Amino acid sequence: MSGFFGSISKNDCVDDVFYGTDYHSHLGTKRAGIAFFSGKNGFQRAIHSLEDGYFRNKFENDIKGFAGNCGIGVISDSEAQPMVVNSHFGRFGVATVSRIININDLEEHFLKLHHTFSETSQGTVNPTELISMLIAEGNDFVSGIENVFEKVKGSCSMLILTENGIIAARDKLGRTPVVIGKKNNAYAAAFETCSFSNLGYETEKYLGPGEIVKLTAEGWEQLRKPNVEMQICSFLWVYYGYPPSFYEGINVEETRYRCGAALAKNDPIEADFVAGIPDSGVGHAVGYSHARGLPFKRPYTKYTPTWPRSFMPQSQHMRELVAKMKLLPNKSIIENKKGIFLDDSIVRGTQLKDNVRDLHEAGIKEVNMRIACPPLTYPCEFLNFSRSRSSMELATHKAVKELEGTENVNMKEYSDAGSEKYAAMVDKIRENLGLTTLRFQKIEDLVEAIGLPKEKLCTHCFDGSSHF
């Protein structure tokens, strides 16, 4: 995933962009960048790696030399951005939240036209550079963005920094959010609404799918009307989103509370306490605890002063080590107790397996795991959802291969919570992770907890239902 923030003001906006971008740090792990425009200095830009540090530390010296009343920032899970390019309709900067499935085909398209590309450190085309080239194929920014919508398979939301404003465009199916904020003498566009409050912005507008607006310090202008169809990622509420944020006017933490309460329905398992796997499992656990009338406790404490986010390191070995080292079990709560644990999801299951082993070593009697979303049976084709390079890395596919003896299996029945194959898969995952019991959220309960119609949500990773 990635996240961005842009601001345009009658005054200098450098501080707003700096802090607003920083509030998106939970969404990306690899690169970050900021870009500004002023009449005096033109375009200014800085990009840094986040693999060995945090956004604030990396950019606090840069912003001392920056000035401008218009700027954008991005936390990126992959490529270096924002890009600043020149085109037939002028210079512009662009930051994206995107995944391009057909990037090789689009690269070939431009190479046949004798275009050249810069390379990322991985030796691949920079997706944001590719997006900027697709924009430049248009006669103006709107037709250029529509060209992106037409040609990209996957998803793409973007902020474009120009000499006279910021253009914000939401993915054509609205898979990721773009929200407009307002305060005296300034407007902002962001992925996360939680970036607004401490900077004095109030939420003004949620962009619709495919909608394009232009921001100035005086206000915003719609350049393209929204599409009717929407497929916003349901996993934003389950895991990726920051608790105080809103998507489509629906709060993340309240949704997680409802997810936990839904899991508590018809769950008679006896236990001494309810706990959340920190941090994203906590909201779900509180909802479950209140619904069941069982005490909420913290058998794990997260030690944060020295350990960064567990998904930040690029090495899987290091991610697992960080995840293990920063969670400290509390034996006085765990020993000889039966616990119900809430977590947002099971992707690979590697970290969860380590957590469960630690609980057993601390003397727990039972580890009853409740997962806030359905099993991930289909790989995401629309967002940079996880670092799994293959569907066989998913815990579900590992379990099915053990049951079937082959990787070539139709996952439809395994996605049906009422089927025998689903029950066998869940039990195999339970066995592999060393759990006493394991239950996943039903898809209809997840949809109800979010509060949008099923057809407005992307639930592809659970049921394979979405499309490009």
Let me know whether 181 and 306 are in one domain: no
Domain C-terminal end among 167, 196, 230: 230
Report yes or no: 210 and 172 within 8 Å, Cβ to Cβ.
yes
Let me know whether 224 and 332 are in one domain: no
Domain count, the chain: 2
Q: What is the pLDDT of residue 300?
A: 86
Q: What is the pLDDT of residue 77?
A: 86
Residue 357 lies in a domain: yes
Three-state secondary-structure class, residue 156: strand
Residue 238 lies in a domain: no
pLDDT digits (tens, 9 = 90+) for 305-320: 655 555 445 566 666 6
Report yes or no: 332 and 298 within 8 Å, Cβ to Cβ.
no
DSSP 221-250: EEEEPPPS---EETHIIIIIS-TT-EETTE
Q: What is the pLDDT of residue 464?
A: 95
Residue 63 lies in a domain: yes
Of 234, 200, 99, the residue nearest 158 (C-alpha): 99
Let me know whether 303 and 219 are in one domain: no
Dihedral angle sign, alpha carbons of residues 232, 236, 242, 245: positive
Let me know whether 459 and 340 are in one domain: yes
pTM: 0.93
Q: What would the two tokens of residue 267 be? A: 């769950």
Average pLDDT over residues 178-207: 98
Report yes or no: 83 and 129 within 8 Å, Cβ to Cβ.
yes
Let me know whether 90 and 170 are in one domain: yes
Q: Is the pLDDT of residue 163 over 80?
A: yes
Report yes or no: 345 and 373 within 8 Å, Cβ to Cβ.
yes
pLDDT digits (tens, 9 = 90+) for 10-40: 999 999 999 999 999 999 888 999 999 999 9
For residue 450, the domain's CATH number is: 3.40.50.2020
pLDDT digits (tens, 9 = 90+) for 389-426: 557 789 999 999 999 999 889 999 999 999 999 999 99
For residue 141, the domain's CATH number is: 3.60.20.10
Let me know whether 218 and 304 are in one domain: no
Q: What is the pLDDT of residue 52?
A: 81
Residue 235 lies in a domain: no
pLDDT digits (tens, 9 = 90+) for 218-261: 999 999 999 999 999 999 999 999 999 999 999 999 999 999 99
pLDDT band at 386 (very low <50, low <70, confident <90, very high): low
Let me know whether 133 and 63 are in one domain: yes
Q: What would the two tokens of residue 179 be? A: 């929200």
Let me know whether 165 and 83 are in one domain: yes
Residue 110 lies in a domain: yes
Structural domain for 272, as ranges: 254-463
Let me know whether 275 and 200 are in one domain: no
Report yes or no: 248 and 177 within 8 Å, Cβ to Cβ.
yes
DSSP 162-205: ETTEEEEE--TT-SS--EEEEETTEEEEES-GGGTGGGT-EEEE
pLDDT digits (tens, 9 = 90+) for 77-89: 889 999 999 999 9
Let me know whether 210 and 304 are in one domain: no
Query: What is the Cβ-side half-sphere exposure of residue 66, based on CA atoms within 13 angstroms?
Result: 27
Let me know whether 33 and 121 are in one domain: yes
Bridge partners of 224, per DSSP, are 212
| Contacting residues for 324 by C-beta, under 8 A, at least 6 apart | 351, 354, 358
Q: What is the pLDDT of residue 53?
A: 84
Residue 326 lies in a domain: yes
Let me know whether 54 and 8 are in one domain: yes
Domain C-terminal end among 230, 263, 297: 230
Residue 468 lies in a domain: no
Residue 248 lies in a domain: no
Domain C-terminal end among 198, 230, 262: 230
